[in-house]
Structure 1
């Protein structure tokens, strides 16, 4: 069973995270697959939209904690920074895509899963979706571009409050605070996003690309501090006597 499934329907590439047994947790290999899928979609002259979603009861539970624990045993600060920056590059590449990108959040989005959702232009959540910023509960800090994208979505003060309190929001709460753009029933999520994608494709790839360029975020803001602080947190989590590595599950 492939960890990533891609289906092309009209001008839309549907990209599905397919590790339901671990709530679609992201590994380094899956990051590379996601990036490759995005690049193939952009190379498709008939494509104007990409939909990112998950299989099973989760959208994405963030980083694979087993991989994190194994990495913590061998990484130093520099290699931890490099790994965090790898995730940042994926998220930023999604943000800069010429395609209209839609996150169809079908269930749990935790940690880096929230980052993946907010990397998309439009976020549609199923009624059962949850958005959990559990980094602090694991001795970590928000990463994967979340320190920037969360502020862009809901403002600095609210973003910081959610991060500090390790907020766990249901779909309606996420809608009220601006994390998502629409909420629909679980049964209607696919049909709702299918209609949205068709509407976006109808706008035309050229119009989408130009509109996204017009709204592009300033490029001078970098994420080096986010990468460094998360790497320091990861090193502390892996050091005996300070804090244990993240438990299996969300991160």
Structure 2
């Protein structure tokens, strides 16, 4: 499938999805939503893909919603933003969180509004030193969406989450790393290479086990301790029946490098 607003390819077990509306700082319109949704569908269905790398083209990662794609002119009927979230942003966030593989995000520039929260929905986030994160919703009278009101308190605590959401201050990549919002801040020129190296490494690992780790951690916020213990038991049962577990134990005993197949 030919895409207009994203760049998408698969190589060495890694699917790379690059948002490609650089003049608009990769902000989302309806067509880009559809293309991202289709690419993520291909990622999930492909037996070849074992890790996803999400990044942006140009000087920004994603500025959230393209406001030019909405009509809020005086006298015009106001759009139903809840419908937009239900039809587009919520499915996108759910697709990213539910992918049975590691999702790496390389934030190459500003990540604002939904763009910031899309990054936070990924598993491992690297950001260029010049990148920044902004909960810009309050600047136009809106509420953080794309999971932001759930993710932010869990990343930085309620006090900082409220300040970020109500003040809309720009947070540098270095500060985001210090606060635990992202995994790592790296030099601009090293970002793409480091992110791709990380994705390629993860694609060689026991990715079924990694998917189960992701599933357990994502479930932990809504579980009691006893429920989480039961979930760990159930997921460990699944992990212990994989060929990768057999290979990992065999490689350990034979003192050789394991060759994992993701199954």
TM-score normalized by structure 1? Answer: 0.82
> What does residue range 75-90 of structure 1 map to in structure 2 within 5 Å?
75=78, 79-86=80-87, 87-90=89-92
User: What is the rounded CA distance, in whole Å, between the counterparts of 1:219 and 1:74 in structure 2?
Assistant: 39
User: What is the rounded CA distance, in whole Å, between the counterparts of 1:7 and 1:49 in structure 2?
Assistant: 12
The 8 Å contact of residues 19 and 55 in structure 1, kept in 2 or not, is answered as yes
Displacement of 1:70 after TM fit? 5.2
Structure 1 stretches of 4+ with a deviation exceeding 3 A read: 69-76, 218-221
The 8 Å contact of residues 120 and 181 in structure 2, kept in 1 or not, is answered as yes
1:195-242 deviations in Å (ceiling 9; x for gaps): 111111111321221211221236969xxxxxxxxxxxxxxxxxxxxx
User: What is the rounded CA distance, in whole Å, between the counterparts of 2:221 and 2:159 in structure 1?
Assistant: 22
Match of 1:40 in 2: 42
User: What is the rounded CA distance, in whole Å, between the counterparts of 1:105 and 1:114 in structure 2?
Assistant: 9
Q: 1:200 aligns with which of 199, 202, 213?
A: 202
Match of 2:186 in 1: 184
Indicate the SS of the match to 1:217. helix
User: What is the rounded CA distance, in whole Å, between the counterparts of 2:72 and 2:39 in structure 1?
Assistant: 26
> What does residue range 66-105 of structure 1 map to in structure 2 within 5 Å?
66-69=68-71, 73-75=76-78, 79-86=80-87, 87-105=89-107
Give 5+ residue unaligned stretches, structure 1. 222-251
Q: 2:140 aligns with which of 138, 155, 177?
A: 138
Larger radius of gyration: 2
User: What is the rounded CA distance, in whole Å, between the counterparts of 1:129 and 1:164 in structure 2?
Assistant: 21
CA RMSD of aligned residues (A): 2.0
Displacement of 1:74 after TM fit? 3.6
User: What is the rounded CA distance, in whole Å, between the counterparts of 1:35 and 1:181 in structure 2?
Assistant: 25
> What does residue range 157-236 of structure 1 map to in structure 2 within 5 Å?
157-217=159-219
Match of 1:128 in 2: 130
Displacement of 1:157 after TM fit? 2.1
Give 5+ residue unaligned stretches, structure 2. 224-263
User: What is the rounded CA distance, in whole Å, between the counterparts of 1:71 and 1:212 in structure 2?
Assistant: 43
- The higher relative CO (CA closer than 8 Å, separation ≥ 6) is in 1
Matched, 1:56 2:58: yes
Indicate the SS of the match to 2:28. coil
The 8 Å contact of residues 71 and 78 in structure 2, kept in 1 or not, is answered as no
TM-score normalized by structure 2? Answer: 0.78
User: What is the rounded CA distance, in whole Å, between the counterparts of 1:156 and 1:10 in structure 2?
Assistant: 40
For this pair of structures, how many residues does the alignment match? 219
Indicate the SS of the match to 1:211. helix
